[in-house]
C-alpha cells in the first residue's frame, strides 16, 4: 500500500472579480509515495506544492482526478486520524500557550487525558520548547511557532506526516534540528512528505523527490539515481602546461579554462581520459587533479525546469512513468 498516491490531479482556480476565469494550478499530477520514505516535493514558489498538499488534506478540492492517502480516498476524513500536517507559515490561536494548544490538538484526536499529558510533555521536549510551555503563542518568535507546528503535527503519533516548508523561518541550528527530527521519524518507520524550495534540504534528506514547475511534474525519482545519472564528464587540472600540449589536447577537451598558472580541462568522454593523461605525462606537465564531475540536485533541477514544455502528451507521460519506477 502506498502512503500517498495521486492520479491525474488537476486544480483550476477561478481568478478575477467579476468574470472568473480558470487558472490552472496543477496539471495532471501523478505521484506515488512509498511507505517509510522521506519524499520531497520540490519547486520554485508558485509551482503548486502547497496546492498539492492542500488537496491531499482536503482544504481545497481537486477539479478532477483522484488521490489516496494510506489507501483511503482523501474525501474520507477519518484517515486524518493517522496523519499529521504542518501548514506553510503556520499560525495558531495566539491567546493559548504552547501546552494548551498541543492539549487542544490532542483533544481533537480524542486522546485520553493521561496520554495527552505524556505526549505533550515529550513533544515539547523534542522540539525544544519545554522552557516556554506556559508562554502564550503570541509572544513566540517565528521559529518557535514553527516548532509548535511540528509538535502539533506529531501529537497523534501519525504514520504519515505532511510538512509544508518545514525549514522556513528557522535559524541554521533549528534547520539542523528539524532535519534530525525528520530522519528520526523515518527511523521509526514513519513516512514524511514535505515540500521545499530549498534544494540543499532535499539533497540531504530525501529518499525520493518530485519536481514541480508551473503545476506540472517535471521529474520524479530516487535522489541517488538522479545524482548518479549526472556523472557525465571528468575534470582534469594541469599546472602551467606548454601551449603545444594544449594544442594536442584540444580535440579531447572542448573547454579549457585558464586561471593563473592552472588550466582546467573538461573531458566529456570517459574513454578519452587515459589519452589525455598519457599526453600530459609525455610532456612532463604537472598534474594537479583528476575528478569525475558529479551533477548536483541544483543542476538537475535547473535542467528540468529549464526544459521547454513537453511537445506532446506522450513524451510527458513517458517521463512521469519513468519517475514512478
Partner 1 sequence: MKSVRRIAVIALQNFKESVRERVLYNLIVFALLLIGAAILFGRISVGVEQIILVNLGLSSISAFGLLMAIFIGISLVWKEIDRRTIYSILAKPVRRPEFIIGKYFGLVGTLLINTAIMTTGFYVALLYDKGRLELSDFRALGAVYMILLQLALVVGVALLFSCISTPILSAVFTLCVYVIGNFLNDIRWFGQETNSAWVEKLTTFLYYLLPNFGNFNVISRTAHGESVPGYLLLSNSLYTLLYLAILISAAILIFEEREFR
Partner 2 sequence: MSNKSNASVEGRLARRICWVIVIGGFLSLFPIQQGIDRTEDAMGNVADALYLTSGQVLSRLSLGHEGLLADIYWTRVVQYVGLKRLSHSTNFDQLGPLLRLTTELDPHLLIAYRFGSIFLAEKPPGGAGQPEEALRLLRRGIVANPDYWRLWEDLGFIYYWDLKDYANAARVFQAGSERPGALVWMRVMAATVAAQGGETQTSRALWSEIYRHADNEQVRQSAIEHLAAIETQDQIEKLNQLLARYQKREGRAARSFHELVEAGYLADVPRDQTLGLALFGLLGVKAVADLTRGVSSKRSRYTVVLKSALYLAIGSLVVVGARVLGLDWAAELYMWSSQGDVDRGQYGRAYTNAVQAVGLRPGALQYWRTLAVAKLAQRQFESLLDDHLTFQFLDGGTLDEQDAYRFALCYFYLGEYDKALSITKHLIQQNRRYAAPYVLQGMTYSAQKKYADAELTFLDILQRYPTNQAAVEGLAQTYYLAGKRDLAIQLLDETAKYSFPPGARKRFEALKALYGR
Residue selected from 22, 71, 110, 112 as contacting partner 2 according to rule CB under 8 A: 71
- Is 66 one of the binding residues for partner 2 (CB under 8 A)? yes
Nearest distance from C-beta of residue 11 to partner 2, angstroms: 18
Asked whether the beta carbons of 153 and 193 are under 8 A apart, the reply is no
Nearest distance from C-beta of residue 55 to partner 1, angstroms: 10
Nearest distance from C-beta of residue 73 to partner 2, angstroms: 3
Rounded-to-integer distance, Cα 13 and Cα 25, Å: 7
Asked whether the beta carbons of 116 and 100 are under 8 A apart, the reply is no
Nearest distance from C-beta of residue 128 to partner 1, angstroms: 20
CA of 45: how far to CAs of 6, 78, 221, 223, in Å? 21, 31, 21, 21
Scanning the structure block, which residue is given the C-alpha cell 505533550? 120
Q: What backbone phi and psi angles, to 5 degrees, belong to 167?
A: -90, -15
128-136 long-range contacts, Cβ below 8 Å, gap at least 24?
A: 128/177, 129/98, 132/98, 133/97, 133/98, 133/99, 134/97, 134/98, 134/99, 135/97, 135/98, 136/94, 136/95, 136/96, 136/97
Nearest distance from C-beta of residue 31 to partner 2, angstroms: 18
303 interface partner picked from partner 2, partner 1, none, CB below 5 to 8 A per type: none
Which CB sits closer to partner 1, 39 or 301?
A: 39
308 three-state secondary structure: coil
Nearest distance from C-beta of residue 92 to partner 1, angstroms: 6
Which CB sits closer to partner 1, 59 or 281?
A: 59
Which CB sits closer to partner 1, 107 or 131?
A: 107
- Is 75 one of the binding residues for partner 2 (CB under 8 A)? yes
Interacting residues toward partner 1 by CB under 8 A? 13, 54, 57-61, 77-78, 80-81, 83-87, 89-93, 95-96, 104-105, 107-110, 149, 152-153, 156, 162
- Is 73 one of the binding residues for partner 2 (CB under 8 A)? yes
DSSP 8-state class, residue 157: -
DSSP 8-state class, residue 207: S
Scanning the structure block, which residue is given the C-alpha cell 521547454? 308
As given in the structure block, the three cell numbers for residue 33 are 509515495
230 three-state secondary structure: coil
228 interface partner picked from partner 1, partner 2, none, CB below 5 to 8 A per type: none
- Is 64 one of the binding residues for partner 2 (CB under 8 A)? no
**Stretch binding partner 2 (CB under 8 A), from 29-37, 63-71, 105-113, 182-190:** 63-71
80 interface partner picked from partner 2, partner 1, none, CB below 5 to 8 A per type: partner 1
Which CB sits closer to partner 2, 68 or 208?
A: 68
269 interface partner picked from partner 2, partner 1, none, CB below 5 to 8 A per type: none
Give the pairing of strands 286-293 and 233-239: antiparallel
Which CB sits closer to partner 2, 66 or 122?
A: 66
What are the start-end ranges of the H helices in the chain? 49-56, 98-108, 113-126, 142-153, 172-187, 199-205, 223-229, 243-249, 273-282, 297-306, 313-324
Contacts of 196 (CB under 8 A, 6+ apart): 40, 41, 42, 165, 166, 167, 202
Which CB sits closer to partner 2, 35 or 283?
A: 35
71 interface partner picked from partner 2, partner 1, none, CB below 5 to 8 A per type: partner 2
Nearest distance from C-beta of residue 324 to partner 2, angstroms: 20
- Is 82 one of the binding residues for partner 2 (CB under 8 A)? no
Question: Which residues of this protein are in contact with partner 2, per CB under 8 A?
Answer: 66, 68, 71-73, 75-77
Amino acid at each position: 500500500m502506498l502512503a500517498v498516491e495521486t492520479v491525474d490531479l488537476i486544480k483550476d482556480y477561478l481568478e478575477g472579480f467579476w468574470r472568473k476565469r480558470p487558472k490552472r494550478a496543477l496539471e495532471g499530477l501523478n505521484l506515488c509515495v512509498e511507505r517509510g520514505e522521506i519524499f520531497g516535493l520540490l519547486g520554485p514558489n508558485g509551482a503548486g506544492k502547497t496546492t498539492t498538499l492542500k488537496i491531499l488534506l482536503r482544504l481545497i478540492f481537486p477539479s478532477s482526478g483522484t488521490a489516496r492517502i494510506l489507501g483511503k480516498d482523501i474525501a474520507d476524513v477519518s484517515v486524518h486520524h493517522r496523519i499529521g500536517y504542518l501548514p506553510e507559515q503556520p499560525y495558531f490561536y495566539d491567546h493559548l500557550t504552547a501546552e494548551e494548544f498541543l492539549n487542544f490538538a490532542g483533544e481533537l484526536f480524542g486522546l485520553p487525558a493521561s496520554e495527552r499529558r505524556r505526549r505533550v510533555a515529550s513533544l515539547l521536549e523534542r522540539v525544544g520548547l519545554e522552557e516556554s510551555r506556559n508562554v502564550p503563542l503570541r509572544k513566540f518568535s517565528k521559529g518557535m511557532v514553527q516548532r509548535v507546528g511540528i509538535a502539533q503535527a506529531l501529537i497523534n503519533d501519525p504514520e504519515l506526516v505532511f510538512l509544508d516548508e518545514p525549514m522556513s523561518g528557522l535559524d541554521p541550528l533549528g534547520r539542523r534540528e528539524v532535519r534530525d527530527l525528520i530522519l528520526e521519524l523515518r527511523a521509526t518507520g514513519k513516512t514524511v512528505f514535505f515540500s521545499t524550495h530549498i534544494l540543499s534540504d532535499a539533497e540531504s534528506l530525501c529518499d525520493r523527490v518530485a519536481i514541480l514547475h508551473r503545476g506540472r511534474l517535471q521529474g520524479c525519482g530516487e535522489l541517488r539515481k538522479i545524482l548518479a545519472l549526472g556523472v557525465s564528464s571528468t575534470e582534469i587540472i594541469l599546472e602551467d602546461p606548454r601551449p603545444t600540449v594544449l594544442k594536442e589536447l584540444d580535440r579531447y577537451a572542448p573547454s579549457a579554462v585558464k586561471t593563473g598558472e592552472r588550466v582546467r580541462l573538461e573531458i566529456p568522454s570517459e574513454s578519452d581520459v587515459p589519452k589525455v593523461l598519457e599526453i600530459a605525462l609525455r610532456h612532463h606537465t604537472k598534474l594537479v587533479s583528476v575528478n569525475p564531475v558529479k551533477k548536483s540536485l541544483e543542476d538537475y533541477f535547473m535542467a528540468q525546469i529549464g526544459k521547454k514544455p513537453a511537445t506532446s502528451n506522450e513524451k510527458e507521460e513517458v517521463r512521469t512513468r519513468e519517475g514512478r519506477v
